[in-house]
Copies of this chain bind each other. A is one copy, B any other.
């Protein structure tokens, strides 16, 4: 049973403003919730779940308040087209130490606004062991429900920091900075690296001019077809697979 106020509260977490005020976000589906339940930096506050899910996860109540809901109630609070048994309200992730740039490969995202792309980029970063993503303020919110779902649990392992990318790059001008352009060095012929910042630009506008000036390594993914551009998440995956 869920109260009208709870429904309103959970629905409000679909909006960034409410997530920021409440310092919470939501995650759904048994697979994702199970993964976040085991993440040491995820503090789950409430679990709204069908009886069936609760029966299969008897220990969940040790970690969070568990509220049984009907399928109809779940549909009301879910952000998915097809709600799937459980919805968790989770405290925004807290990271222990300051983000590190030196000795690491990190990503800098410039104006990535599609939530599916952002979530997939987080998942790709996680696959390749990238620990930090610096995002310009106009990137989509990492706690947007669509980003959370597309990241498939990787948000608990990849730190996403919103900041002025340009300042970050200026402050770290001793670190190699890679940016994808149309006529740069062939990514497939480059040496592996273990330190650097890889800038991923907005799909339609590419990497911001000011940022491009700072990039000391301009790279290109060679293609012999006629497609105008690559999806940002695909480009990130290709670049990381060649550089790491």
Which residues of A approach B to under 8 Å, CB–CB? Answer: 116, 120, 123-130, 152-154, 157, 187-188, 221, 223-231, 233-238, 241-242, 244
Contact = CB atoms under 8 A, between A and B. Distances in A.
A136 to B, nearest CB: 22
A4 to B, nearest CB: 28
Given A116-B116, A188-B242, A242-B188, A230 B225 contact: no
A124 B229 CA distance: 9
Given A116-B116, A123-B231, A231-B123, A128 B237 contact: no
Contacts of A224: 128-129, 244
Contacts of A235: 237
B120 A228 contact: no
Integer count of this chain's copies in the complex: 2
Given A116-B116, A188-B242, A127 B237 contact: no
A97 to B, nearest CB: 18
Contact of A126 (B120, B157, B226, B242): B226
Contacts of A120: 231, 234
A123 B117 CA distance: 15
A225 B116 contact: no
A123 B241 contact: no
B188 A225 contact: no
Contact of A223 (B127, B226, B229): B127
- Name the 7 nearest CB pairs between A and B, nearest first: A234-B237, A129-B224, A126-B227, A127-B223, A129-B225, A127-B227, A126-B225
Contacts of A234: 120, 124, 233-234, 236-237
A166 B92 CA distance: 46
Contact of A238 (B129, B225, B238): B238
Given A234-B120, A238-B238, A127 B225 contact: yes
A13 B226 CA distance: 28
A148 to B, nearest CB: 14
A225 B152 contact: no
Contacts of A233: 231, 233-234
A62 to B, nearest CB: 24
Contacts of A128: 223-225
A129 B223 contact: yes
A242 B243 CA distance: 12
A241 B225 CA distance: 12
